[in-house]
């Protein structure tokens, strides 16, 4: 009996601990260049896109681009400015495709809004971008939300040149983040920390109460 209660307590603790650990989305596992990610859920985050325009009458899609390419040699779509080889070596990154051509991924110069909705509330978010372009169409920025309301905005720097890498970190309570691109650019990775799962608490408390009751019985 004691072993069973101890096991329940240990499981509850492990669930609480695991749920508070940061999760990293780097677009590597099970994904390859040309894969369409629009509407996909990755590690508890669902990706959608808006205000991205159309190509051939169809909405531009979120697509994977292999940034570990050599400039002037094998960067698809001639997108040398998305190469991260020799800097952060990001590998797969997320773009808004200019023409939905999976055989030749190429980011759109028209921009759009990449939205990432989390399955559970999160307490911190770090987004890393590649090649945030200089655009007269407007600013580039991350915006964090909770229950549909904007909580915080972080601007991305303009005039940083090709292949620039930028990172922004939010701390607080959020359930969605959006990356607004006025022109070209990509999302290299997203790291976030989920709020500890409430479902783990009853299990943990049950273990504590059981051990307390057992000790009380033994003492009597």
Q: What is the value of pTM for the model shown?
A: 0.82
pLDDT of residue 28: 97
Q: What is the 3-state secondary structure (H, E, C) of 7-72?
A: HHHHHHHHHHHHHCCCEEECCCCCCCCCCECCCCEECCEEEEEECCCEECCEECCEEEEECCCCCC
Q: Kindly state the average pLDDT of the residues 100-125.
A: 96
Distance, in Å, from the CA atom of 20 to the CA atom of 10, rounded to the nearest integer, reads: 16
Other C-beta atoms closer than 10 Å to the C-beta of 201 total 13
Q: Which helix (H) or strand (E) holds 96?
A: strand 92-96
30, β-bridge pairs: none
The DSSP letter of residue 71 is: T
Q: Which helix (H) or strand (E) holds 122?
A: strand 112-130
Other C-beta atoms closer than 10 Å to the C-beta of 213 total 11
Higher pLDDT, 138 or 109: 109
Distance, in Å, from the CA atom of 34 to the CA atom of 118, rounded to the nearest integer, reads: 24
Please name each of the domains of the chain with its CATH number.
1-20+196-220 (no CATH), 22-195 (2.60.120)
Please give the radius of gyration of the chain, using alpha carbons only, rounded to the nearest integer. 22
* Angle of CA points 73, 103, 140, to nearest 5°: 75
Higher pLDDT, 84 or 21: 84
Task: List, for residues 137-155, the tens digit of each pLDDT value.
Answer: 789 999 999 999 999 999 9
Task: List, for residues 47-94, the tens digit of each pLDDT value.
Answer: 999 999 999 999 999 999 999 999 999 999 999 999 999 999 999 999
**CA separation (Å) from 136 to 110, 139, 182, 189?**
11, 8, 8, 26
As a residue count, the chain comes to 220
pLDDT of residue 138: 83
Distance, in Å, from the CA atom of 140 to the CA atom of 145, rounded to the nearest integer, reads: 17
Q: Are 118 and 174 in contact (CB under 8 A)?
A: yes
**Computed from CA positions of residues 138, 76, 43, 21, in that sequence, does the dihedral angle turn out positive or negative?**
negative
Q: Kindly state the average pLDDT of the residues 27-31.
A: 97
Place of tokens 């990293």: 24
Task: List, for residues 122-134, the tens digit of each pLDDT value.
Answer: 999 999 999 998 7
């Amino acid at each position: 009996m004691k072993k069973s209660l101890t096991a329940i307590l240990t499981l509850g603790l492990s669930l609480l601990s695991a749920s508070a650990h940061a999760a990293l989305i780097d677009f590597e596992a099970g994904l390859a260049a040309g894969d369409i990610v629009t509407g996909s859920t990755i590690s508890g985050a669902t990706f959608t896109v808006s205000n991205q325009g159309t190509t051939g009458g169809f909405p531009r899609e979120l697509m994977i681009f292999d940034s570990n390419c050599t400039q002037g040699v094998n960067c698809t779509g001639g997108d040398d400015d998305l190469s991260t080889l020799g800097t952060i070596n990001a590998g797969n990154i997320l773009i808004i495709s200019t023409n939905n051509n999976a055989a030749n991924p190429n980011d759109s110069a028209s921009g759009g809004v990449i939205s990432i909705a989390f399955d559970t509330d999160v307490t911190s978010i770090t987004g890393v971008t590649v090649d945030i372009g200089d655009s007269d169409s407007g600013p580039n920025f991350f915006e964090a939300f909770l229950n549909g309301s904007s909580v915080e905005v972080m601007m991305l720097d303009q005039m940083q040149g090709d292949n620039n890498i930028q990172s922004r970190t939010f701390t607080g309570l959020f359930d969605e983040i959006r990356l607004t691109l006025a022109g070209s650019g990509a999302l290299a990775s997203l790291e976030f920390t989920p709020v500890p799962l409430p479902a783990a608490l009853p299990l943990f408390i049950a273990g504590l109460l059981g051990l307390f009751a057992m000790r009380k019985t033994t003492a009597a």
